[in-house]
A and B are shown apart, each in its own frame.
Chain A
Amino acid sequence: MADEPSSTLDRRKFLAVLGVTGGSAAVLSGCSTDRVEKLIPYLVQSEDQVPGIATIYASTCTECASGCGLHVRTREGRAVKLEGNPEHPVNQGTLCARGQAGIQGLYHPSRVRSPRQRQTDGSFKDISWDEAIALLAAKLTAAQGKVAVISGAGRGTYRDLLGAWTAALGGKLVDYEPFDHESVRAANRQIFGLDQLPAHDFAKARYIVSFGADFLETWLSPTENQRGFAASHGYIDGAMARHVAFGPRLNLTAMNADQWHVARPGTEGAIALAMANVILAERTTGPADSNGLKNLLASWTPEQATQISGVPTEIIRRAARDFASAGPSLAVAGGIGSQHRKATELCAAVNVLNYVAGNVGRTVLFGAELQSGDGYGALVEMTTAMAAGQYQVAIVHEANPAYATPKSGHFADKFQKVPFKVALSLFPTDTAALCDLVLPIHHALERWDDLRPRKGITSLMQPVMEPVFGTLAAGDILLKLSKKAGGPLASFNAASWEAHLKQSWAGFAKAQGNGDADGFWRAALARGGVFGPAPVTPVKLAAGALQLAYPAAALDGAEGADSFTLSAYPTSMLYDGRGANRPWLREMSDPVTKITWQSWVEIHPDAANRMDVQDGEILTVTSPHGSIEAPAYLYGGLHPDVVAIPLGLGSNRTFDGRGTNGINALDLLNGEPTGGYLAYTSTRVTLAKTGKFQAIAKTEGTPRQLGRGLSDSMTLTQAKKGMTPSLAAAETEHHPEVEVNTEAEHAALRGFRSAQDEKIKLGAYAEDHPKWGMSIDLSRCTGCSACVAACYAENNIPVVGEAEVLRGREMTWIRIERYWEGGDDGEPLEARFLPMMCQHCGNAPCEPVCPVYAAYHTADGLNGQVYNRCVGTRYCSNNCPYKVRYFNWFAYNKTAFPEPLNLQLNPDVTVRARGVMEKCTFCVQRIRGAQNTARLEDRPLADGDVITACAQACPSSAIIFGNVKDSTSRIAASSRDRRGYHVFEDINVRPSVTYLARVIDRAEA
């Protein structure tokens, strides 16, 4: 058997994504002990590092605009895992999958390692920093103010410096963020006269309506939203908030709704207006100034909304009444996937709805001013000026507009009209590839920086380790340029970027009334920043509110039988394309479709039937602006008139042109800005069959539960009655309990059980040990997959690549299973999630079949797996009813972590070699670590001392881990919950994982 994935072509493709250019992978494991190893001591001891013990630094995530706080776990001077900062008000200790994968950006092999200059033949040559700075300084001086800067930096001291620096040069700066939610801001300007993004308190809302806003995926502040959503929508003591979603696509957010109502694309605003109308018409009191709206809204009847959107009148009326009576409730709109040409009008309608229901100031909190860019319109304005030859030098900081804007906008052509272009970038992005000079900058974990994601929060970043490559902090580049160029830049004379930042923080300390600038800085650094409440802006209706209208959204391309409305939507893994080169995010399946690595085109089964399209059939999708080819994925969670394509792939990320796989859905869109934003749902497309097929790399087995009782659910009424999942199922399905076992079989089972009870009196099993258990509340789990990312990071799980996923050989120790319910005969299509990992069965079927005693039961209730014993018979996997054991088909310890990605590996966990079976260990390294610490401190383990990586990361706090024998522990309480059940309870394997059935608050008559 070869030591690498079987097909060389596939391996090359796999490595291309990782961006490896030659070089061998690291050898990290193996039990050979005759190899000569070196012990290399420090020259000077670092006071922060104790070898063998993690040092944790507070920092800030830069993977999206939300600005979550991080705790960076470092070991022996290198970052090994990112976790949420519990003190940070945005994410409060949790972190999404994208944020956790940020560490793969730090160690990514394709990072630019030194300054590179374009040669006359178009190739790039490495140059020294001195040369690069001298070159750019000369160009800046010669440009005489004709300098354009496109910045992807968030709000903070660096952005302030860059702004002042650009202004001193006489240049122009545009803040560019691909997913900028301009429509939300424009609508707030129109309705409330406030040009800002408010914060949203999902935790307080008792009724949540989403009009296509994917607030659990990419909308504004997803981790914070999810935390709040789980707090209100999770079932606690007979109560939960109801969540209703309207929209053309069943996205992850809608999958977590109690009800999803399919609406024609571009019509959600009509529903919002009709709901506002019903509320105002039926209610005698309301905000005083809303009466002016009453007449305006009167024409927006639910009947008319039904005609436009296709959502039944009764549903709209009922939603309106419940929305008004829930108090406070929350309606959200403005998701990227539903950003059509009337997105501003949609958000305006939702603003009015929130206003008349009295939510503004309660769940919609103005004053927070979430950070945002200048919008797509400002970028287009700048590129038009570039095309007109108005700029001599263009600087792009940490942005990739050449990828993130539609080809029909011709960014690349216009950008190339600028004589000298510079990219400050981590990666050789599509935009960097167009530039004349590429300056590699520090990753957020390598530099000093701060970020102000919203009012009241200033979050700090600090270098947690030596830079991986020969990069510089972007702030230092600006200061070095200023020193070299002089002239208008002479005033930027701070000794270093760090000195500049500290100086600006001294001013900040003074503004906060703190005289001790150094103490202020140190305290902020330890905590992760300065966190205060956001100011509250009083809100009333602006004059623009009376210009409320909702005309139909225009679409490019002809209406016709074979044409569809295209929805180009963001996924929670790839975001704006930033996730596309992170191996974890590519291999962790999309939460909705369970597809890994590839691009796909979602098409409704009815339309597919009509066109005789099969799953995996490659379709040509053509719009007036371009065409792409991708395999079809038949998806019932769509409006039949819609095809949907995920954003984020199809980027050409490397200079050698190999690029990554997948297609870019933006190629089909119109690059003309609509009201300052890019309309992601703006074209009609036609589909053509190519006759070719592609196997889709999905990680799902069977998409339906087939009555197996895997992911149980019950209605709110049933939960309130205290029903168990099996009782609820019996009531719902009207199936009488069927007794399958005969009396003789029962007797045998009793005998078997008592024999087992004898065994646990033997040896170490008789001693007093904890019994580790886990519970997962499915009414909180949203399927977001943050736990999966945490497991990858904690447990050194290899990424196997597309070809091996197609063979079903992915290695995710914890996976999120997604099952569909309903969808036929007019029943609504619903999704169920089930995080599945080793159940650590008390009566584990894997254990007795292992011929070498590698799978065995520990005295503290774990299903142990001893790698050095395992000989790879795979009997255990064959005998596992949950299919949670994963086999190392190849020497992933040598191939899956190309340098320097190997620096991320957790030194507490063995990197498994070829031929070894592996699986979830309940993070045994964390258990043993906590036990060691407790023993050192002469105390017993306390509840909460051991938190598994998945439980730690979960933004919904759905996972609880602990000692079941400790009756006061959270896990013991959770295991006693009436909603608790075990998957495959009837096969008597006695799992240690208890699932709590999901509760669905359907509108019942």
Chain B
Amino acid sequence: MRKLAYLAAGTIVLTLVATVTLHRDPAAQQTAATVNDSITAPRLGASDTAALKGPRQPIFFRHDIHAGQYKIQCQYCHYTVAVSSEPGIPSLQTCMGCHSIIAGSDSSAKAEIRKLRTLADSATKTHDRVTVQWVRVHTLARHAHFPHMRHIKAMGPSACFTCHGEVSRMPQVFKVNNINNMGFCITCHIERKVTRDCTACHY
């Protein structure tokens, strides 16, 4: 469980040298998540977004374009889901891996990507560095622990949909299942004949 890391320079978040390739654990290099059929994400204007379900995000990031239309695997961004209890929220550097080249196809997309670039550019500053603050859609209660990696291990890389719904078709992510309803967890655990011990999650 322990990973003894060799430390290069000051370790923390915002200060490291910009390296574009992410360090990945070999265990993370699993079979890619497959999105069965590519969809054509709808064009949405600013006036259409009010009708979308789920919380409004500071940047209108479209899972349906990234994961649906372009079939980018979930784990490309949520990079630790197969190795850690935390799925991993991509750093802006990950976004910029593509978006330093891709500027967006229409004006509304361009506006959102400009927001991203402004934030990402602040990484080069010595202070006043700012990053995006996503509104969290799925918040697990603090008295429960959910090891993402065991679920990916047992159910495969496409297991995300089981709890999070078909995110690849969501222009804006919303809650499909109440993950804090324990019955939702237990139903699945009973079906699959896996542990129902309280201390598997509650400690």
Task: Please list the residues of chain A having a beta carbon within 8 angstroms of any beta carbon in chain B.
Answer: 28-31, 33, 35-58, 74, 77, 462-466, 522, 525-526, 764, 856, 858-860, 862, 864, 866-869, 908-911, 921, 924-925, 928-930, 932-933, 935-937
Q: Closest residue of chain B to A853, judged by CB?
A: B198
Decide yes or no whether B168 CB sits under 8 A from chain A: no
6 CB-based A-B contacts, threshold 8 Å: A31-B180, A33-B139, A38-B134, A41-B90, A53-B80, A53-B84
Q: Closest residue of chain A to B2, judged by CB?
A: A56
Which of A47, A860, A932 sits near B19, CB closer than 8 Å? A47
Q: Mark B71-109, 1 if CB is under 8 A from A, else 0.
A: 000000000100111101111111000000000000000
The verdict on A57 contacting B7 (CB below 8 Å), with A42-B93, A47-B16, A47-B23 known, is yes
Q: Closest residue of chain B to A76, judged by CB?
A: B86
Question: Which residues of the partner chain B approach A52 to less than 8 Å between Cβ atoms?
Answer: 80, 84-86, 148
Which of B8, B92, B195 sits near A764, CB closer than 8 Å? B195
Which of B8, B83, B180 sits near A50, CB closer than 8 Å? B83
On whether the beta carbons of B13 and A525 are closer than 8 Å, the reply is: no
Decide yes or no whether B42 CB sits under 8 A from chain A: no
On whether the beta carbons of A928 and B199 are closer than 8 Å, the reply is: yes
Decide yes or no whether B142 CB sits under 8 A from chain A: yes
Decide yes or no whether B36 CB sits under 8 A from chain A: no
Which of A33, A48, A56, A866 sits near B202, CB closer than 8 Å? A866
The smallest C-beta distance from A680 to any residue of chain B, in angstroms, reads 41
Decide yes or no whether B122 CB sits under 8 A from chain A: yes
The smallest C-beta distance from A322 to any residue of chain B, in angstroms, reads 45
Question: Which residues of the partner chain A approach B145 to less than 8 Å between Cβ atoms?
Answer: 908, 925, 928
On whether the beta carbons of A51 and B198 are closer than 8 Å, the reply is: no
Decide yes or no whether B53 CB sits under 8 A from chain A: no
Which of A31, A42, A932 sits near B147, CB closer than 8 Å? A932
On whether the beta carbons of A55 and B93 are closer than 8 Å, the reply is: no
Q: Closest residue of chain B to A934, judged by CB?
A: B1
On whether the beta carbons of B203 and A928 are closer than 8 Å, the reply is: yes
On whether the beta carbons of B1 and A42 are closer than 8 Å, the reply is: no
The smallest C-beta distance from B197 to any residue of chain A, in angstroms, reads 5
Give the one of A35, A49, A50 with max B CB within 10 A. A50
In the complex, the 7 A-B pairs of residues with the closest C-beta atoms, listed nearest first: A52-B86, A52-B84, A42-B91, A51-B86, A37-B136, A45-B91, A466-B12
Q: Closest residue of chain B to A946, judged by CB?
A: B1
On whether the beta carbons of A929 and B92 are closer than 8 Å, the reply is: no
Which of B27, B84, B123 sits near A51, CB closer than 8 Å? B84
The smallest C-beta distance from A415 to any residue of chain B, in angstroms, reads 36
On whether the beta carbons of B13 and A77 are closer than 8 Å, the reply is: yes
With A and B bound together, what is the CA distance between A910 and B141 in angstroms?
Answer: 10
Decide yes or no whether B10 CB sits under 8 A from chain A: yes
**Which chain B residues numbered 7 to 26 have a C-beta less than 8 Å away from chain A?**
7-8, 10-19, 22-23, 25
On whether the beta carbons of A43 and B91 are closer than 8 Å, the reply is: yes
With A and B bound together, what is the CA distance between A57 and B90 in angstroms?
Answer: 24
Question: Which residues of the partner chain B approach A30 to less than 8 Å between Cβ atoms?
Answer: 142
On whether the beta carbons of B18 and A525 are closer than 8 Å, the reply is: no
Q: Mark B162-203, 1 if CB is under 8 A from A, else 0.
A: 000000000000000000100000000000000111111011
Question: Which residues of the partner chain B approach A463 to less than 8 Å between Cβ atoms?
Answer: 10-12
Task: Please list the residues of chain B having a beta carbon within 8 angstroms of any beta carbon in chain A.
Answer: 1-8, 10-19, 22-23, 25, 27, 55, 80, 83-86, 88-94, 119-120, 122-123, 129, 131-136, 139, 141-145, 147-150, 153, 180, 195-200, 202-203
The verdict on A867 contacting B14 (CB below 8 Å), with A43-B119, A932-B147 known, is no
The smallest C-beta distance from B29 to any residue of chain A, in angstroms, reads 13
Q: Specify the main secondary structure of chain B where it touches its partner.
A: loop
On whether the beta carbons of B84 and A465 are closer than 8 Å, the reply is: no
The verdict on A33 contacting B141 (CB below 8 Å), with A38-B133, A47-B16, A55-B5 known, is yes
With A and B bound together, what is the CA distance between A33 and B145 in angstroms?
Answer: 14
On whether the beta carbons of B198 and A866 are closer than 8 Å, the reply is: yes
Question: Which residues of the partner chain A approach B4 to less than 8 Å between Cβ atoms?
Answer: 56, 58, 526
Question: Which residues of the partner chain A approach B94 to less than 8 Å between Cβ atoms?
Answer: 45
On whether the beta carbons of A45 and B22 are closer than 8 Å, the reply is: yes
Q: Closest residue of chain B to A78, judged by CB?
A: B12
- Given contact pairs A48-B11, A864-B197, A910-B142, a sample of 10 additional A-B residue pairs in the complex whose CB atoms are under 8 Å apart: A43-B119, A43-B131, A52-B80, A52-B85, A52-B148, A463-B10, A466-B12, A466-B15, A928-B199, A937-B27
On whether the beta carbons of B203 and A910 are closer than 8 Å, the reply is: yes
On whether the beta carbons of A867 and B143 are closer than 8 Å, the reply is: yes
Which of B86, B92, B180, B203 sits near A909, CB closer than 8 Å? B203
On whether the beta carbons of B3 and A55 are closer than 8 Å, the reply is: yes
Question: Which residues of the partner chain A approach B91 to less than 8 Å between Cβ atoms?
Answer: 41-45
Question: Which residues of the partner chain A approach B142 to less than 8 Å between Cβ atoms?
Answer: 28-31, 910-911
The smallest C-beta distance from B120 to any residue of chain A, in angstroms, reads 7
The smallest C-beta distance from A603 to any residue of chain B, in angstroms, reads 46
Question: Which residues of the partner chain B approach A522 to less than 8 Å between Cβ atoms?
Answer: 6
Q: Closest residue of chain B to A41, judged by CB?
A: B89
Q: Closest residue of chain B to A929, judged by CB?
A: B1
Question: Which residues of the partner chain A approach B136 to less than 8 Å between Cβ atoms?
Answer: 36-39
Q: Closest residue of chain B to A938, judged by CB?
A: B153
On whether the beta carbons of A925 and B11 are closer than 8 Å, the reply is: no
The smallest C-beta distance from A240 to any residue of chain B, in angstroms, reads 34
The smallest C-beta distance from A132 to any residue of chain B, in angstroms, reads 19
On whether the beta carbons of B180 and A48 are closer than 8 Å, the reply is: no
On whether the beta carbons of B1 and A858 are closer than 8 Å, the reply is: no
Q: Closest residue of chain A to B23, judged by CB?
A: A47
On whether the beta carbons of A40 and B131 are closer than 8 Å, the reply is: yes
On whether the beta carbons of B141 and A31 are closer than 8 Å, the reply is: yes
The smallest C-beta distance from A496 to any residue of chain B, in angstroms, reads 11
Question: Which residues of the partner chain B approach A936 to less than 8 Å between Cβ atoms?
Answer: 27, 83, 149-150, 153
Question: Which residues of the partner chain B approach A56 to less than 8 Å between Cβ atoms?
Answer: 2-5
On whether the beta carbons of A921 and B3 are closer than 8 Å, the reply is: no
Which of B88, B180, B200 sits near A928, CB closer than 8 Å? B200
Question: Which residues of the partner chain B approach A869 to less than 8 Å between Cβ atoms?
Answer: 198
Question: Which residues of the partner chain A approach B149 to less than 8 Å between Cβ atoms?
Answer: 932, 936
On whether the beta carbons of A868 and B141 are closer than 8 Å, the reply is: yes
With A and B bound together, what is the CA distance between A163 and B4 in angstroms?
Answer: 35
The smallest C-beta distance from A852 to any residue of chain B, in angstroms, reads 12
Question: Which residues of the partner chain A approach B139 to less than 8 Å between Cβ atoms?
Answer: 33, 35, 37
Question: Which residues of the partner chain A approach B135 to less than 8 Å between Cβ atoms?
Answer: 36-39
Question: Which residues of the partner chain A approach B19 to less than 8 Å between Cβ atoms?
Answer: 44-45, 47
Which of B3, B92, B123 sits near A54, CB closer than 8 Å? B3
Q: Closest residue of chain B to A763, judged by CB?
A: B196
The smallest C-beta distance from B126 to any residue of chain A, in angstroms, reads 13
On whether the beta carbons of A77 and B12 are closer than 8 Å, the reply is: yes
On whether the beta carbons of A910 and B180 are closer than 8 Å, the reply is: no
Question: Which residues of the partner chain B approach A33 to less than 8 Å between Cβ atoms?
Answer: 139, 141, 180
On whether the beta carbons of A856 and B89 are closer than 8 Å, the reply is: no
With A and B bound together, what is the CA distance between A928 and B129 in angstroms?
Answer: 37
Which of B14, B55, B147, B180 sits near A43, CB closer than 8 Å? B14
The smallest C-beta distance from B180 to any residue of chain A, in angstroms, reads 5
On whether the beta carbons of A50 and B3 are closer than 8 Å, the reply is: yes
With A and B bound together, what is the CA distance between A862 and B199 in angstroms?
Answer: 9
Which of A46, A50, A57, A937 sits near B16, CB closer than 8 Å? A46
Question: Which residues of the partner chain A approach B22 to less than 8 Å between Cβ atoms?
Answer: 45, 47
The smallest C-beta distance from A501 to any residue of chain B, in angstroms, reads 13
The smallest C-beta distance from B96 to any residue of chain A, in angstroms, reads 10
The verdict on A858 contacting B198 (CB below 8 Å), with A51-B84, A52-B84, A936-B149 known, is yes
With A and B bound together, what is the CA distance between A386 and B18 in angstroms?
Answer: 52
On whether the beta carbons of A925 and B203 are closer than 8 Å, the reply is: yes
On whether the beta carbons of A46 and B199 are closer than 8 Å, the reply is: no
Q: Closest residue of chain B to A862, judged by CB?
A: B199
Q: Closest residue of chain A to B94, judged by CB?
A: A45
Question: Which residues of the partner chain A approach B18 to less than 8 Å between Cβ atoms?
Answer: 44
With A and B bound together, what is the CA distance between A238 and B119 in angstroms?
Answer: 69
On whether the beta carbons of A46 and B147 are closer than 8 Å, the reply is: no
The verdict on A48 contacting B134 (CB below 8 Å), with A56-B2, A864-B198 known, is no
Q: Closest residue of chain A to B4, judged by CB?
A: A56
With A and B bound together, what is the CA distance between A908 and B202 in angstroms?
Answer: 10
